[in-house]
Structure 1
Amino acid sequence: MFQELHFPISWFHFFSLLVLVASVFYLFAKKQRAKNLPPSPPRLPIIGNLHQLGNLPHRSLWKLSQKYGPVLLLKLGNIPTLVVSSPETAKEVLKIHDLDCCTRPYSYGSDKLTYNALDMSYSPYNHHWREIRKVCMLELFSSKRVRFFQFIRDQEVSNLVDKLSELSENPVVVNEKIYELMNNIICRIVFGKRYGGNQFQDYNIERGLVEVVEMLGSYWYADSFTFFGKIVDKLTGMQNRLDKCFKNIDSFLEQVVVEHLDPERPKPEREDLVDILLELSKDESAPVPLSRDHIKAIAFDILVASTDTSSLTITWAMAELARNPRIMEKVQAEVRNQVGKKSMVEAEEVDNLRYLKMVVKETFRLHPPAATLLPREAMRDCNIGGYNISTKTKILVNAYAIGRDPMSWKHPDEFWPERFEDSDVDFKGRHFEYVPFGAGRRRCPGLEMGVSNVEYTLANLLYCFDWKLPNGMRKEDISMEEDGLILVRKKSPLVLAPIMHKWQQ
């Protein structure tokens, strides 16, 4: 009798449980629909979608957007993260809801490196940020200041041309030469002199800046897991790396400030950015008095952002030109025909180089320096792409995906500068199919300085030299594999042989 009753009762229990589970899932799905949240890929317990970011998050997010749509909601640990990947949704975030979404989320790594977010890039949106930005736009990043520092670009690019001339016809690692050039330019603009050698405690400034960028781009468990995140960061060694990195950069920046405050320091012919900031710090009536940490944080911002982004862009441009001989020949012909027979291209002449500017714009489209713009955070509930977005949601704008959107760009994966020939699309934040520098209140403030560095350097490299592949190498052998989390660099070195143009011989 027991056996006869056993199976019917078990099947009854089984179907009851099945109905219960289905009801729970139905109610959960109904609740999610009622909230009108964006689509989400399946998540794992605790970590959410962290496992789906991969080594190249901009590419992973691009692939997810192709499957789930241009508005995508992830859960990175316990942080809801919105990813937008189309011009229309980027416009909503960067323009329509700019004021709702223009603060920065807290991050353990960036907060530490920027003296508790006293800089411009990582500071939350508040009175402090608005006043600091006003000061920097007026005193540091205005057109007048960019022109004021042109003599530094002239001298440093001339020095690079001389070095490359001595190596003519020999293969050189182009990305290393460009990085050294940009580091020299930015250090002289910010600090008044070059800083080579072991300026940091354990390594030179170039390696130090690479470490800084890695720390800024790293994932911090402390951001996502309130109770045990810092313990995990400690156990993985990341916290110790961060502490050492900050100690090195702070020691270096402190040394710079002390040098500038030394009463026996010779009066410079032209003031640098630290001079300007120190002078502003004496203004007791300023809305936001500049402390020593403010000065170091702002100097840190400019040094890290400007050096890497400009050098990466020039390297990607040179790699694309080496892979596309037709474009290389066309842009060199323009530069040489416009400039004539001189030792170098002058800054004023760059404005007339229309095709060179198209090459630069196309490089920014295919290889935006920050493939996903620095994260924003919703300050209040809003609606993006038809979905409800809650306060404190982290927001990522995938500039990489937007620059490859087939609805906006014909043959989006092809390097084709001519696409800008009859187009008024620019990178100043007015066209949302093209946002390498962002838009709205958090648009990159150093845009003009960065573009000037790139265009002027590239014009002279193409004017003074013909660039050949090393013996036995074909254009198809140039790897375009990417590396990096926050700034996307070329993974393998770019090796080319500079051959002095006949006018320079």
Structure 2
Amino acid sequence: MQFMSMELSSSSSSCFLFLLFIVPFLYFLKVAATTSLAASTKRPRLAPGPTPLPIVGNLFELGDKPHRSLARLAKAHGPVMSLKLGRITTTVVSSPDAAKEALQKKGRALSGRWVPDADRVLGHDRVAVVWLPPSQQWNNLRAVMRTYSFAARVLDASQGLRRQKVRELISHVRGRTGRAVDVGGAVFDTALNLISATAFSSDLVSLDHHSDHSRRGFKEVISGIMEEVGKPNLVDFFPLLSPIDPHGRRRKVTKYFKQLFGMIDDMIDDRLKLMKQQKNDTSSVSSDGCDLLDELLRSQLDRPILRSLLADYFIAGSDTSSVTVGWAMAELLRSPSLMAMARAELASVVGPTREVVESDIPNLSFLRAVVKETFRLHPTSPLLLPHRAEADVELGPYAVPKHSQVVVNVWAIGRDESVWEDAEAFKPERFLGSEVDFRGQHFELIPFGAGRRMCPGMPLADRMVHLTLASLIHSFEWRLSGGMKPGDVDLTEKFGVTLALAVPLLAIPLPVKE
């Protein structure tokens, strides 16, 4: 009994000691597990999306029209969707509310840029405002662009130059009365000359294509850069392939940029010589009548920055107007009743003989509705330029990891059936009496983006598109070439740097009937 008592006592002590240590340990494990579970429950996860394949991820989901493919996937996975494109984690935004959160509310954290490999040439990506991350240098360059190019007072002062270039376009088209005109091509040349005249006080191309070889070369270089950068590139999805450059995109773009920079350098050097001569001739140089290059030289920008800034003016500015006017004319030629309404409004506001001027535009409500509807259905940059997360951030309940890519599908937003009635139809009248605009405040219509990375050239594009389109409609009656009927107009898209018509629009200008 005593032995048993001692045994029980010893056993009780052991149990006590066991419980003394194990209970706190189990409690600690429970707390840790609960904390871990709570943390895992609260920690945001990536947005839903299609299951990625090994290595390639979701690349095969994109196809040759990624804006359409991503819009279709968003219907299944939601307005904030995650994909794995090769090695790159990508969040795709496809609704006005999600776009507002990404570009405005979380705009600072998502204000970086994802730079295509083909544009990482000759240091261009390290000084170009379009690719620079948010920084003091980026802020300074944006201020330079606003001050000398896109401020309202500057644009008001340069109205005469835009009127002159559009007048030259109308004269060129009038010389082809009764013959087919490549509408987009003629407007592209006009936009290129507008930028050139603004920057250098000279034209780069002749609308009749009789310009000298060096000036034709400038246009070919710009077109070559846009074509190569707009093509798919495996390096953008598998950065380890960068040294190989499997498609040769960077090699080709490097060649084009060397030519472009060389041409710009020649113009800068010629201007510096002229300014030196003027300084020797007089003690002061008047700024009256000076062009953009004069202003930028006086800003004392470093040569690489100045060169890239001017290059971006041409690359970014030459296509927006021509692509938008081309889409608008195609849609109007498909709908003779809409074309008639636009012509009737112009006849009422402008009159039968006077040319259209920019001060007429606020009074042309239907024309402005046509442009808005064109931006809605055919945004020039359907996925905008990709953003890069500068920090870990959340969109709604979903995580966007630092250094990942964020794409805003404005094409999908423009065709969102929950936002737009009869979303696939071209109906300018939907904007009559509507306050919705494309200047970055209404996220259902953001062809130029919104927030910190909104396109700085929007004010110029706004004026140029309206003036050019109004002048073409007002100055001529238009007929389709080759006996085509309105329903035969081909609206097939060609995806690239911009979303252009795959088949150039050929239309015949005819004299306006009195």
Q: 1:273 to 1:113 in 2, by over 3 A?
A: farther
CA RMSD across the alignment: 2.2
CA distance in 2 between partners of 1:345 and 1:93 (Å): 39
Say whether residues 1:228 and 2:241 are aligned partners: yes
Residue in 2 aligned with 1:50? 59
Paired AA for residue 228 in structure 1? L
Q: Deviations over 1:460-486 (max 9, x none)?
A: 111111111124211111100011322
Residue in 1 aligned with 2:392? 381
CA distance in 2 between partners of 1:114 and 1:134 (Å): 21
State the SS of the aligned residue for 2:509: strand
Say whether residues 1:215 and 2:234 are aligned partners: no
CA distance in 2 between partners of 1:342 and 1:113 (Å): 50
Paired AA for residue 163 in structure 1? H
Paired AA for residue 229 in structure 1? S
Paired AA for residue 122 in structure 1? W
* Contact 2:327/2:374, CA 8 A, preserved across alignment: yes
Runs of 4+ in 1 over 4 A off after TM superposition: 30-35, 197-201, 264-269
CA distance in 2 between partners of 1:76 and 1:250 (Å): 33
Paired AA for residue 322 in structure 1? L
Paired AA for residue 58 in structure 1? H
Which structure is larger by alpha-carbon Rg, 1 or 2? 2
Say whether residues 1:492 and 2:503 are aligned partners: yes
CA distance in 1 between partners of 2:170 and 2:104 (Å): 42
Residue in 1 aligned with 2:219? 206
State the SS of the aligned residue for 2:113: coil
* Contact 1:200/1:249, CA 8 A, preserved across alignment: no
Q: 1:415 aligns with which of 402, 415, 426?
A: 426
Paired AA for residue 335 in structure 1? L
Residue in 2 aligned with 1:13? none
Q: 2:439 aligns with which of 392, 410, 428?
A: 428
Q: 1:113 to 1:64 in 2, by over 3 A?
A: farther
Residue in 2 aligned with 1:172? 181
Please identify, of 136-145 and 320-329, the stretch whose mean Cα deviation from structure 2 is larger: 136-145
CA distance in 2 between partners of 1:57 and 1:319 (Å): 23
CA distance in 1 between partners of 2:227 and 2:102 (Å): 27
Identity %: 34
Say whether residues 1:270 and 2:293 are aligned partners: no
- The alpha-carbon deviation at position 35 of structure 1 amounts to 5.0
Residue in 1 aligned with 2:157? 148
Q: Deviations over 1:131-176 (max 9, x none)?
A: 2112211222101111222222111111121222222122222122
- The alpha-carbon deviation at position 240 of structure 1 amounts to 2.1
Say whether residues 1:360 and 2:371 are aligned partners: yes
Q: 1:32 to 1:311 in 2, by over 3 A?
A: farther
Say whether residues 1:135 and 2:144 are aligned partners: yes
Residue in 2 aligned with 1:258? 269
- The alpha-carbon deviation at position 199 of structure 1 amounts to 6.0
Structure 2 length normalisation: TM-score?
0.85
Please identify, of 305-314 and 71-80, the stretch whose mean Cα deviation from structure 2 is larger: 71-80
CA distance in 1 between partners of 2:64 and 2:266 (Å): 35
Please identify, of 452-461 and 41-50, the stretch whose mean Cα deviation from structure 2 is larger: 41-50
Paired AA for residue 369 in structure 1? T
In structure 2, stretches of 5+ residues that fail to align are: 1-38, 206-210, 279-284
Please identify, of 64-73 and 368-377, the stretch whose mean Cα deviation from structure 2 is larger: 64-73
- The alpha-carbon deviation at position 31 of structure 1 amounts to 8.0
Residue in 2 aligned with 1:348? 359
- The alpha-carbon deviation at position 57 of structure 1 amounts to 1.7
Residue in 2 aligned with 1:103? 112
- The alpha-carbon deviation at position 65 of structure 1 amounts to 1.1
Paired AA for residue 466 in structure 1? E
Q: Deviations over 1:94-124 (max 9, x none)?
A: 1110111111124322232672331221111
State the SS of the aligned residue for 1:117: helix
CA distance in 2 between partners of 1:33 and 1:54 (Å): 36
Q: What is the aligned residue count?
A: 463
* Contact 2:119/2:253, CA 8 A, preserved across alignment: no
- The alpha-carbon deviation at position 128 of structure 1 amounts to 1.0
Say whether residues 1:92 and 2:111 are aligned partners: no
Please identify, of 67-76 and 341-350, the stretch whose mean Cα deviation from structure 2 is larger: 341-350
Residue in 1 aligned with 2:124? 115
Paired AA for residue 43 in structure 1? P
* Contact 1:374/1:396, CA 8 A, preserved across alignment: yes
CA distance in 1 between partners of 2:90 and 2:493 (Å): 24
- The alpha-carbon deviation at position 459 of structure 1 amounts to 1.0
Paired AA for residue 465 in structure 1? F
- The alpha-carbon deviation at position 226 of structure 1 amounts to 4.1
In structure 1, stretches of 5+ residues that fail to align are: 1-29, 282-289
Q: 1:302 aligns with which of 301, 313, 335?
A: 313
Residue in 2 aligned with 1:18? none
Paired AA for residue 318 in structure 1? M
Paired AA for residue 178 in structure 1? V
